[in-house]
Homo-oligomer: A and B are copies of this chain.
Amino acid sequence: MGKGARTGMNCDRTRASGANGYCFDCVVHTRAFCAALDSAALAKLETLQSVVELQSEETMFMEGDRAVSFFTVLTGALRISKLLPDGRRQITGFVLPGEFVGLSAEETYVDHAEALTDASVCRFAMSDLRRIGAEYPEMGGQLLAMTNTILTRAREHMLLLGRMKAPEKLASFLVGLLNRAEATEQPTDPLALPVSRADIADYLGLTIETVSRTFTQLRSDAIIALPERNLVRVVDGEALAQLAEG
């Protein structure tokens, strides 16, 4: 198993910390797991962290790798996926700035994490994280809350995968993008599609062709317009939301 280029393998040979300045003025400082920490704790964290730069499509870790590192996304986005032996892929989630990956209860990672775009992540050794966590319980609380949020999203996604039809799935995906763009104050009118059709397909449990056909179906139903390949214009938001609800 494992075919992808893995230039960032385990991310252990990495440019030293501080690329992004210090923890205090970190871009995700207010929403990451470390947000709950006081400046003494942050100062300690800072000595343990290192920033890793990833290129688009670069593999960060693979299922089966020893789970030695824990990562918070600073910029860009990651893709978490699982594979069947014959190559069928399910994307189980995307990881955006401020969110983390790599916190497995197991000894090894249970899924793959790859850069969806060029990205930078903040890395900790799992052992350091545990040590800090023991010292600052509020950090554990934050990790627990964030993990619960991920779990809630996962369960919503299970409903989508198991019970929705293709147009409902795609509408849900678009509504999700829309909400996210609003939350981060990015343009929503021509809404950017930051992922390939293949990724959308593997996220929604469909094939590329069905995704494509469903896009054109939504377009001919005058629910969306597609001014460019990776730009969507929501024409009938009401209808889109309706579809997305099932």
Question: B151–A150 contact, CB under 8 A?
Answer: yes
- Tell whether A97 is near chain B: CB-to-CB under 8 Å: no
0/1 per residue, A153-175, Cβ < 8 Å to B? Answer: 01111110111100000000000
Residue A28 lies at the interface, judged by CB distance under 8 Å to chain B: no
Contact A110 B155 (CB under 8 A): yes
In the bound assembly, the distance between CA atoms of A105 and B89 in angstroms comes to: 29
Decide if A246 touches B88 in the complex (CB within 8 Å): yes
**A205 x B162 contact (CB < 8 A):** yes
Q: Which of B90, B164, B202 contacts A84 (CB under 8 A)?
A: B164
Stretch at the interface among A11-19, A141-149, A211-219: A141-149
Q: Which residue of B lies closest to A84 (CB)?
A: B246
Category for how many chain A residues contact B = 35 or more
In the bound assembly, the distance between CA atoms of A145 and B90 in angstroms comes to 24
Report the copy number of this chain in the oligomer.
Answer: 2
* With contact pairs A84-B164, A89-B163, A164-B84 given, residues A158 and B148 touching in the complex (Cβ less than 8 Å): no
**Known contacts A104-B148, A151-B154; 20 further A-B pairs (Cβ under 8 A):** A80-B155, A82-B158, A84-B159, A84-B245, A84-B246, A85-B246, A89-B163, A90-B158, A90-B163, A92-B158, A105-B148, A105-B152, A133-B141, A140-B140, A147-B147, A147-B148, A147-B151, A150-B151, A158-B161, A162-B202
A: residues with CB less than 8 A from B are 80, 82, 84-86, 88-90, 92-93, 103-106, 110-111, 133-134, 137, 140-141, 143-152, 154-159, 161-164, 202, 204-205, 245-246
